[in-house]
Amino acid sequence: MKIKQYLSERVQAAMVAAGIPAEHGPHVALSNKPQFGDYQANGVLGAAKALKTNPRELATKVLAELDLADIAEKTEIAGPGFINIFLSKEWLVQQAQASFQDPRLGVAKAEQVQTCVVDYSSPNLAKEMHVGHLRSSIIGDAIVRALEFQGHKVIRQNHMGDWGTQFGMLIAHLEDTMAGGSIDGTALADLETFYREAKKRFDDEEAFATKARDYVVKLQGGDERCTELWQQFIEISVQHSEEVYDKLNVTLEREHIKPESAYNEQLPKVIASLQDQGLAVEDQGAQVVFLEEMADKEGNPMPVIVQKSGGGYLYATTDLAAIQYRSQELDADRCLYFIDARQSLHMQQVFTIGKKAGFATDKVSLEHHPFGTMMGEDGKPFKTRAGGTVKLAELLEESVSRATELLSKRETDLTAEQQAEVARKVGIGAVKFADLSKNRTSDYIFNWKTMLSFEGATAPYLQYAYTRVQSIFDKAGIQASDLENNVQVIEEQEKALLTKLAQFEDTLETVTREAYPHMLCAYLYEVASGFMSFYEACPILKDDVDSVTKNSRLVIAYNAQQTLKTGLELLGIETMDKM
């Protein structure tokens, strides 16, 4: 249940009943100290200030109108006029029982279903996916999964970069490596090397460079031979990406690819429309939109080129066409873009033009959710020892082999095959969790040691907590379906864990609203550590535990386990019964 929303409505109603105008919000937030209860409503303070009355007196009036008997065991006034709210055990028990055997864990589906178009991963196909693509792929995928879980309509858009002048050089080189008219698979096995070779020839060989330029023109003109070569190159590059998505457990499929080239036909219309509306004007042969909205300090409007002097289109032009397609044809309520923070200015420009030109509908919310860079230990962008870009596929392989090493130190009765499967889930999970758990807006330092540890907020720790619950059930020879849906709260740790579990829906609300997977990571870590403290304080399988208590604690443990599983699934991280 949405606790914050529920409390907010109730406090707001009490405030109105106490004579406070409705424009003063209740400001309900989680309390930061247990002695202040579970939630605090701070809105009375601001209202008292505006109404020039004594805040404590006003809070007393509000409290007199506030009936939270169904959810809270205590409400009190604290400090200058805060209202502290303590959730009741009875209510927590109700929530726990409602979650048990509910695959949605008590999380309701969105009342207002939104169409969310999510642009993520979107690699350039000229090269292989490298670590720079990790963040967009996994942050975007986590948000997509969470939105879908909430019941929103999600449309994934993999805006792959499959167009541009590099492709002239690539297909010219591809043609030269072909034997007997068909593609030599090995030449493209390593796209990075292939790109480097093509680039070197382009720089060194006059004739090759000429041919490459000629192929760009031909490709743009729809030449059959060039188009065919380009398609073959793209196909192989897409397959490379798909392998990475598979490894990464990212839900992007073929049908989600809407590459840059898909907008080619739209581009002249975009320019024509901008010209018709007087937004694009000619400047030194190019078509330029001047944005007063984004003027510099001297008041000079910011120029954004939408068509080059030779007639060529730009990255921005394609994004304008994409805004139009997503808002108008896909009828988006929200368009979320998961793109590196270094493209913030670009996004701001296209959003501004998109709105101004009416490519975006009035209702659509255009949102760039930027993220920082993954850094090496030296504080510089993550590179190989030799200073090259780290291929994503190789990074993931290394993580799995490090996970194998980490797990080999544990005693296990798993077969070699099962162990390999566990290592894969731990290795991939570790890289993902380490990344997703950082506030996406900042840069972060990539560190194998901290991410592949059973201590702290890591994937292995959470996966381990999951297996811990499983082992309790295994040891008891009990399944969840054997249990009575009956919960009681005796110890503080039980209450604390149930309170945490009841906040799953609230957490998801923030996660999808702000596009912040790190909030879900932090939440799941608290669930796991809450479970550990609970398990330490509340014996389950000991002989002297009575059957009602044992049953209740097993239900609580099960709810914690299912919350971990569902939460990790939303992050695209797998769990296992044993490790």
Q: Could you tell me if 96 and 87 are in contact, meaning their C-beta atoms sit under 8 angstroms apart?
A: no
d(CA 144, CA 138): 10
Residue from 141, 319, 435, 505 touching ligand ARG (CB under 6 A): that is 319
User: In whole angstroms, how close is the CB of 440 to ligand ARG at the nearest point?
Assistant: 15
Residue from 68, 322, 392, 557 touching ligand ARG (CB under 6 A): that is 322
User: In whole angstroms, how close is the CB of 460 to ligand ARG at the nearest point?
Assistant: 31
SS3 content of the chain, % helix, strand, coil (to 5): 55, 10, 30
Distances (CA, A) of 2 to 132, 396, 397, 420: 36, 37, 40, 40
User: In whole angstroms, how close is the CB of 339 to ligand ARG at the nearest point?
Assistant: 5
Q: Could you tell me if 432 and 402 are in contact, meaning their C-beta atoms sit under 8 angstroms apart?
A: no
Number of residues that bind ligand ARG (CB under 6 A): 10
User: In whole angstroms, how close is the CB of 257 to ligand ARG at the nearest point?
Assistant: 12
Strands (E), 292-446: 302-307, 334-337, 365-368, 374-375, 444-445
Q: What are phi and psi of 74, to 5 degrees?
A: -155, 140
User: In whole angstroms, how close is the CB of 334 to ligand ARG at the nearest point?
Assistant: 15
Strands across the sheet containing 334-337: 153-157, 115-119, 334-337, 365-368
Closest to ligand ARG by CB, 146 vs 350, is 350
Closest to ligand ARG by CB, 122 vs 551, is 122
Closest to ligand ARG by CB, 121 vs 563, is 121
Q: How far is CA 503 from the centre of its chain?
A: 19
Helix pair 224-248, 206-220: axis angle to 10 deg: 90
Q: Is 159 in the site for ligand ARG (CB under 6 A)?
A: yes
User: In whole angstroms, how close is the CB of 493 to ligand ARG at the nearest point?
Assistant: 46
Which tokens belong to 97? 């029982």
Closest to ligand ARG by CB, 45 vs 322, is 322
Q: Could you tell me if 334 and 153 are in contact, meaning their C-beta atoms sit under 8 angstroms apart?
A: no
Closest to ligand ARG by CB, 325 vs 531, is 325
Q: Could you tell me if 163 and 263 are in contact, meaning their C-beta atoms sit under 8 angstroms apart?
A: no
Closest to ligand ARG by CB, 119 vs 574, is 119
Closest to ligand ARG by CB, 121 vs 512, is 121
User: In whole angstroms, how close is the CB of 113 to ligand ARG at the nearest point?
Assistant: 24
Contacts of ligand ARG in 205-244 (CB under 6 A): none
| CA-CA-CA-CA dihedral for 136, 139, 142, 145, to nearest 10 | -40
Residue from 134, 339, 502, 571 touching ligand ARG (CB under 6 A): that is 339
Written in H, E and C, the secondary structure of 463-525 is HHHHHHHHHHHHHHCCCHHHCCCCCCCCCHHHHHHHHHHHCHHHHHHHHHHHCCHHHHHHHHH
User: Tokens 């599983």 — which residue?
Assistant: 565
Contacts of ligand ARG in 73-132 (CB under 6 A): 119, 122-124
Closest to ligand ARG by CB, 26 vs 123, is 123
User: In whole angstroms, how close is the CB of 191 to ligand ARG at the nearest point?
Assistant: 14
Closest to ligand ARG by CB, 354 vs 530, is 354
Contacts of ligand ARG in 443-482 (CB under 6 A): none
User: In whole angstroms, how close is the CB of 222 to ligand ARG at the nearest point?
Assistant: 23
Q: Name the site residues for ligand ARG (rule: CB under 6 A).
A: 119, 122-124, 159, 161, 319, 322, 337, 339
